[in-house]
Amino acid sequence: MKILIKNIKSLVQVEEKTRLKISGAEMKTLSCISNAWLAIEDDKIADFGEMKDFPGISDWSNLQVIDATGKLVFPSWCDSHTHIVYAGNREQEFVDRINGLSYEEIAKRGGGILNSAKKLQDASEDELFESAMKRIREVILQGTGAIEIKSGYGLSFEAELKMLRVIKRIKAIVPISVKATFLGAHAIPSGMTKEKHIENIINEMLPRIAEEKLADYCDVFCERNYFTKEETVKILSEANKYGIKGKVHAEQLSHSGGIEAGVKSNAISVDHLEFANENDISILKNSETMGTILPGAQFFLGLQNPPARKMIDAGLPIAIASDYNPGSCPSGNMNFMISLACINYKLTPEEAINGATINSAYAMGLSKTHGNIAIGKQANVFITKEIPNYAFIPYSFANNPVETIILNGQIFK
């Protein structure tokens, strides 16, 4: 199967020599080709260039030609942080927050993550799978072509395994790339001490999860009333022993040392970062860990802005992800996340698009194969509706610019 997209108004995020991540001032540049063509063969990007240099078609067999006059072509968004396997919703907590309660106060009353954990206990594997597949379809239609999915609403051994098995089923069936993350350290299960829960994570869950190859990454919610930076390092260093790299929910509601713990554990990413400070920025500068912002969760919970602008100005890369989950961000629309990063954090459209493509691919270990238009990369791309330019995506906030989706070289229906 071959696809040729021709007359593309702008082919966005092209790289001849691809970088694994884009940092600092370089994030301001987004390479594009105007009036371009793109050739896809099987599931890979085969070639691209300017229409004026188009070599013509020598072999019409098995070829589908798409005319993209007036339209832009992008590499699919990479969403490196989601919790899309969950049961039920939490709109009552949303109303409670409107009426004055904070996220932390709701959690203290047994709401929050424990509320989702209770709902998940009662849901069957099939129910969880079906509802997560609906969300996957929804985000694919919004341009997402690679996604990370966390456990963490199970908390008990059995329920965490149930979640990870659902993620494994999703991985096997969906046309987008999926990475699985074990987030046993998301909260402390009710009726259990934190020490006991950490002991279970380390001595029971991690060995079994590693044996069944159920997780690509291990995550910890490093936060006051949840897990300390020392506990984060302890859990992630155990995961590292199985070759499972870390990720950290860091500095979301308070400064808790999650960035320091993540860098110390050689985590692939540290995410949220609302309370990151100057010292954290210098810690990140001496690391390979990707700072990831989740503009939807910050917006939905009304938290302070993360220092995203400062981080880029200090020379750091930044990734953007959705955090799609029932408590702090019930949306996985990456177009909207890009808008929020531009509107609220003053990222330029180029910076935000780099953040939601190559840098978010890096944050889930996929930047060798995803995140830009380059020969040999996975043919996960989308064609927009007729729009004037790429800045229109963050500008036209909360709309969906995506018209045609190609995943693994096939048009997604």
Structure tokens given for 194: 């934190």
Q: Are strands 44-50 and 77-79 parallel, antiparallel or unpaired?
A: unpaired
Output helix, strand, coil percentages for the chain, rounded to the nearest 5. Answer: 35, 25, 40
CB 218 within 8 A of CB 181: yes
Q: Which of 217, 215, 244, 249 is nearest to 232 (CA)?
A: 249
CB 368 within 8 A of CB 391: no
Structure tokens given for 89: 């919703």
79 forms part of the interface with Fe ion (CB under 5 A): no
Residue span binding ligand NIG (CB under 6 A) among the ranges 63-71, 108-116, 212-220, 262-270 = 108-116
Give whichever of 324 and 390 is closer to Fe ion, judged by the CB atom.
324
> Which of ligand NIG, Fe ion, none lies near 328, with the C-beta cut-off 5 to 8 A by kind?
ligand NIG
CB 309 within 8 A of CB 348: no
Q: Which of 323, 370, 373, 393 binds Fe ion (CB under 5 A)?
A: 323
CB 27 within 8 A of CB 317: yes
221 forms part of the interface with ligand NIG (CB under 6 A): yes
* Closest CB 167 distance from ligand NIG, rounded Å: 16
First to last CA, the chain: 16
Q: Which residue is nearest to Fe ion (CB)?
A: 323
Binding mask 297-336 for ligand NIG (x = CB under 6 A): x-------------------------x-xxxx--------
Q: What DSSP designation does 99 have?
A: T
Residue span binding ligand NIG (CB under 6 A) among the ranges 34-42, 109-117, 355-363, 396-404 = 109-117
Spatial separation of the C-alpha atoms in residues 174 and 200, rounded to whole Å = 31
Give whichever of 189 and 349 is closer to ligand NIG, judged by the CB atom.
189
269 forms part of the interface with ligand NIG (CB under 6 A): no
Binding residues for ligand NIG, rule: CB under 6 A, are 112-113, 116, 221, 249, 252, 297, 323, 325-328
Binding residues for Fe ion, rule: CB under 5 A, are 323
